[in-house]
Chains A and B, each alone.
Chain A
Amino acid sequence: MAIDILMPALSPTMEEGTLAKWLVKEGDSVRSGDILAEIETDKATMEFEAVDEGVIGKLLIAEGSEGVRVNTPIAILLEDGESADDIGTAPAPAPEATADAGKAAAPAGGSNAPATPIPAAPDPTPDWPEGTPMVQQTVREALRDAMAEEMAADDSVFIMGEEVGEYQGAYKVSQGLLDRFGSKRVIDTPITEHGFAGIATGAAFGGLRPIVEFMTFNFAMQAIDQIINSAAKTLYMSGGQMGAPMVFRGPNGAAARVAAQHSQDYAAWYMQIPGLKVAMPYCASDAKGLLKSAIRDPNPVIFLENEILYGRSFDVPQLDDYTVPFGKARIWREGSDVTIVSFGIGMQYALEAADRLAEDGISAEVIDLRTLRPMDTDTIIRSVMKTNRCVTVEEGWPQGSVGSYISSVIMRDAFDYLDAPVLTCTGKDVPMPYAANLERLALITTDEVIAAVKQVTYR
């Protein structure tokens, strides 16, 4: 049967074009790959090739014609045994049944996120059973123990990064792991973040469970394409066939006096990415329990630690297998006048502020989010419904901060409960300066949190 040759779309945006020139005439035999015509698109002049073999029966559109719509028949190709005389009698081909295929079906509802109903009651399960014996541990030791326990439990878990092995960790987090697990599973890499982040992601595709240590998250900027485009998106892009069960961890945020390139909080950056989970613990028990959960998680997890917190000691429950679930905030102290929401090292300012505010008779409820994606917004909303005020605390920059997201969620879900605007306490909107006095000024302080609370409580 004669074949209609249709005006082709030759770019992602082309809807019509100019048939600039025919390079064949009626009666010519063509093979697939032969150039039939030159077509001007919205971008360029393109050569249009034949797909099927046959004889050009009729040219339907004259050369030089402008505004020819995509999918308009422009010529008729005759197959073996057909003649041009058959053209008139051949049944017209049915219009493409799938002409609407390119149109996306209208999205259901106008919202870009599932509707959020009244928040569920927070999970009342305590992090550990009453009476559990506790031991004092630094955050550094807790992180090491988490990795050691998970490596002992699962042979497919390994750690790679700069100085994680023989040097025992640039910040001594991986201390002792090389002796215990050997160089097959504790792998010193060259200084090549982009490369080893990609290799680890490939290893995760291949069925292993890598822990990638970045000496600091500042250096993960070199690797962020692999983290986001490869690790976070592959499960979706593959229709669920394969993903990257792995952890990217290391110190994040400002240390002390290391200036602009080594002092940056990436919480808000990674929190934005669907496909990633993001944990940012404050205390040692959460560092341990969350890292164990992160290593077991079948998704890529960004695990943001803090150099200043590494040496702090906290109580850690003495349990054989202590884990903390993702998406469950911790209420550090209950209060009735204001909700202070923070995470990571921000908790230090939040807790200090709450102590001092109590002396002034202001009762602050302090929530540690622990994980930013998933984020336990239910606990925030329930608290704000009680206190009617909220202040967020973080070290990162103000524009596009974690706090600004929390603020938008509160406006959406608890607007009628608010007695004051939500205030976000953040680092200053500047690169981190080196000078000691300026650095102090750039960082968030307890005094600023207290001032914000007094502002929203009208004191």
Chain B
Amino acid sequence: MAARRATKKPAVSADELKTYYRDMLLIRRFEEKAGQLYGMGLIGGFCHLYIGQEAVVVGLEAAAEEGDKRITSYRDHGHMLACGMDPNGVMAELTGRIGGYSKGKGGSMHMFSKEKDFYGGHGIVGAQVPLGAGLAFSDKYKGTDRVTFTYFGDGAANQGQVYETFNMAALWDLPVIFVIENNQYAMGTAQQRSTSTKDIYHRGEAFGIPGEMVDGMDVLAVRDAGQRAVAHCRKGKGPYILEVKTYRYRGHSMSDPAKYRTREEVQKVREEKDAIDHVRDLLIDGGHATEDDLKAIDKEIKQIVNASADFAKDSPEPPLDALWTDIYA
């Protein structure tokens, strides 16, 4: 992707670049650690890692403001870290401990933070799409200009409720940004085997919803597209679609051997398009940071991630009476 990097000097400050580098690295190292804890049996059940897709949430969070909302599927750890949730609380939820965001009762797929306007963490493919539009509905109803980032994948894009939601979101001018995180595989099914259209965002045209394709391995491109989408929604012009082309390096979940694609395909993306390497190059080549500066960031991230793992191991399991709480408000 050298060609991509050479095309033009990006409009971004050194501090912003460093922040993006840091935030993306936090997600990657956190996810690697989660994978390790899963291997040790400390995390159970389903665990869907976000490695490879980091630029999507970090770029879009750079376009978000206080009070904007976000909601996503079960591949949600990256979204939580990007919106500022505490890595300790996220990791402790993964290990099913009382210190987790859902007191250990939600797990990897079901975490929430009212404080950070993060509305989950939903395990049924596509179900978060009408929920996200509903959050946007609540903002419009209350007369705020806040927007809701509603993330879903290329797999979810084939669920009927997505199009039911497109229709109502357009009909009612809901301030919702539909973010299609197209990592090109719906579990093991490649997009061309599951989806009649090449570019999924075009499906919005049938509902009068504008959209665009975004390079999801370029955090600056994602941020810029996010800003366009946010501006559109804040002005009351209704929904907007961003189809963000990205790639997941790991399997669909921990138990997926990913035999539906070649090792070379994965390796090629990692070597040529990696979003973190991209920002790293921008920082070094632009003279914004030295190798030592980045090493210091790496070290800080390693400490944060290790601390989260320690917290997640040390936090007690929920008390047994927690079985019976939080069923009714």
A interface residues (Cβ-Cβ under 8 A, vs B): 6-12, 14, 32-33, 35, 41, 43-49, 51, 70-71, 96-98, 101-102, 104-105, 107-108, 114, 158, 184, 189-190, 192, 194-208, 225-226, 229-230, 234-243, 245, 274-275, 277, 298-299
Contact A207 B44 (CB under 8 A): no
> Are B42 and A51 interface neighbours, CB within 8 A?
no
A73 to chain B, nearest CB (A): 11
Which residues of chain A are near B258, meaning CB under 8 Å? 47
B132 within 8 A of A: yes
Interface string of B43-86 (1 = CB under 8 A from A): 01110000100000000000000000101000000000000000
In the complex the two chains form, what is the Cα distance from A114 to B327 in whole Å? 14
Selecting from B108-116, B198-206, B233-241, the interface stretch reads: B108-116
Cβ-defined partner of A238 (8 Å) among B102, B136, B171, B317:
B102
Asked whether B130 lies within 8 Å of A197 as measured between CB atoms, the reply is yes
CA distance A202 to B317 in the complex (A): 30
Contact (Cβ within 8 A) A239 B103: yes
- Cβ-based interface call for B16 (8 A): no
Residues in chain B near residue A43, CB distance under 8 A: 255, 257
- B328, closest chain A residue (CB): A299
CB pair A205 B40 closer than 8 Å = no
Contact (Cβ within 8 A) B124 A225? yes
| A-B residue pair count with CB separations less than 8 angstroms | 220
The 8 A CB mask of B88-109 against A (1 = contact, 0 = none) is 0000000110001111111000
Contact B46 A237, beta carbon cutoff 8 Å: no
Q: How far does the Cβ of A239 sit from chain B's closest Cβ, in whole Å?
A: 4
Residues in B whose Cβ lies below 8 Å from that of A9: 38-41
A376 and B253 alpha carbons, distance in the complex (Å): 44
Q: Chain A's nearest CB lies how many Å from the CB of B274?
A: 10
Given A198-B165, A235-B326, also A33-B135 (CB < 8 A):
no
CB < 8 Å neighbour of B124 from A45, A206, A229, A235: A229
A203 in contact with B329 (CB, 8 Å): no
Neighbour of B313 across the interface among A7, A12, A97, CB < 8 A: A97
Given that A205-B131, A237-B102 are known contacts, is A299 also in contact with B329, CB under 8 Å in the complex?
Answer: yes
Q: Is B120 an interface residue (CB 8 A)?
A: yes
In the complex, are the beta carbons of B327 and A274 less than 8 A apart? yes
> Please, which residues of chain B bring their CB within 8 A of the CB of A107?
320, 323
Q: Given that A33-B249, A44-B255 are known contacts, is A202 also in contact with B138, CB under 8 Å in the complex?
A: yes
Q: Would you give the shortest CB distance from B32 to chain A, in whole angstroms?
A: 5
Instruction: State how many angstroms separate the Cβ of B28 from the closest Cβ of chain A.
Output: 8
What does the 1/0 interface line of B157-178 toward A look like (CB < 8 Å)? 0001100110110010000000
When A8-B40, A237-B105 are in contact, do A198 and B320 touch as well, CB less than 8 Å? no
Minimum C-beta distance from B44 to chain A (A): 6
14 pairs, A vs B, C-beta closer than 8 Å: A12-B45, A12-B46, A44-B257, A101-B41, A102-B42, A189-B168, A192-B167, A198-B133, A202-B119, A234-B112, A236-B326, A238-B101, A239-B103, A243-B329
The answer to whether A225 touches B127 (Cβ under 8 A) is yes
Q: Is the CB of A195 within 8 A of B164?
A: yes
Would A8 and B38 be within 8 Å (CB), given that A158-B141, A237-B105 are in contact? Answer: yes
Taking CB atoms, residues of chain B closer than 8 Å to A189 are 168
In the complex, chain A residues whose CB is within 8 Å of the CB of B111: 238
Contact pick for A241, options B35, B102, B142, B256, CB 8 Å: B102
Q: What is the interface size of chain B, counting residues whose CB is below 8 A from a CB of the partner?
A: 77
* Complex interface: chain B residues within 8 A of A32 (CB): 29, 32
Cα distance, A48 to B254, chains bound together (Å): 11
Shortest A393–chain B CB gap in Å is 28
Q: Which residues of chain B come closer than 8 Å to A108, judged between CB atoms?
A: 320
Which residues does chain A contribute within 8 Å of B263, judged by CB atoms?
A: 35, 47
Q: Closest CB of chain A to B314's CB: distance in Å?
A: 8
Partner of B33, one of A49, A51, A198, A274: A51
The answer to whether B131 and A201 touch across the interface, beta carbons within 8 angstroms, is yes
Asked if B139 lies at the interface with its beta carbon under 8 angstroms from chain A, I say yes
Q: Give chain A nearest CB distance to B102 CB in angstroms.
A: 4
CB pair A238–B44 under 8 Å, yes or no, is: no
Instruction: Kindly list chain B residues whose C-beta atoms are within 8 Å of the C-beta of A239.
Output: 100-106, 112, 326
Report chain B residues within 8 Å CB of A226.
127, 130-131
- CB atoms of A105 and B317 under 8 A apart: yes
With A196-B168, A208-B138 given, is the CB distance from A71 to B40 under 8 Å?
yes
Q: A195-B161, A237-B106, A243-B329 are in contact. Are A10 and B139 (CB under 8 A)?
A: no
Q: How far apart are the CA atoms of A121 and B153 in the complex, in Å?
A: 54
Q: A51-B35, A242-B112 are in contact. Are A199 and B137 (CB under 8 A)?
A: yes
- Whether the Cβ atoms of B132 and A11 lie closer than 8 Å is no
Q: Are B114 and A242 in contact (CB under 8 A)?
A: yes
**B42 is contacted by which of A101, A245, A274 (Cβ under 8 Å)?**
A101
Instruction: List the A side residues contacting B323 at CB < 8 Å.
Output: 107
Question: How many Å lie between the Cα of A208 and that of B36 in the bound state?
Answer: 41
Asked if A201 contacts B32 (CB within 8 A), the reply is no
Min distance, Cβ A10 to any Cβ of chain B, angstroms: 6
| Contact of B120 with A202 in the complex, beta carbons under 8 Å | no
B134, B251, B256: which contacts A200 (Cβ < 8 A)? B134
Is B270 interfacial (CB 8 A cutoff)? Answer: yes
* Residue from A12, A190, A201 in contact with B134 in the complex, judged by beta carbons closer than 8 Å: A201
> In the docked arrangement, what's the CA distance between A200 and B42, Å?
37
Q: Is the CB of B259 closer than 8 A to any CB of chain A?
A: yes
| B130 closest partner in A (C-beta) | A198
Contacts of B112 in A (CB 8 A): 234, 237-239, 241-242
Question: How far does the alpha carbon of A117 sit from the alpha carbon of B88 in the complex, in Å?
Answer: 42
- Residues of chain A contacted by B123 (CB below 8 angstroms): 229
Q: Are A49 and B110 in contact (CB under 8 A)?
A: no
Is B273's beta carbon under 8 Å from chain A? no
Quick one: given A32-B32, A196-B168, A239-B103, are A98 and B42 in contact (CB under 8 Å)? yes
Report the bound CA distance from A230 to B69 in whole Å.
17
Closest B residue by C-beta to A184 = B141
**Max chain B CB contacts within 10 Å: which of A10, A70, A274?**
A10
Interchain CB contact under 8 A, A206 and B105: no
Cα(A212)–Cα(B120), bound, Å = 22
Contact (Cβ within 8 A) B257 A46: yes
Q: Nearest chain A CB to B85's CB is how many angstroms away?
A: 12
A101 CB contacts on chain B under 8 angstroms: 41-42, 95-96, 313, 317
**Closest CB of chain A to B35's CB: distance in Å?**
7
**Shortest CB distance A384–B (Å):** 27
Q: How far is the CA of A81 from the CA of B113 in the complex (A)?
A: 43
Are A241 and B114 interface neighbours, CB within 8 A?
yes
Q: Convert B294-329 into 0s and 1s, putting 1 for each residue whose CB lies closer than 8 angstroms to a CB of A.
A: 000000000000000000010001001001111111
Q: How far is the CA of A105 from the CA of B38 in the complex (A)?
A: 20
Q: Contact check: which of B41, B69, B130, B255 meets A206 at CB < 8 Å?
A: B69
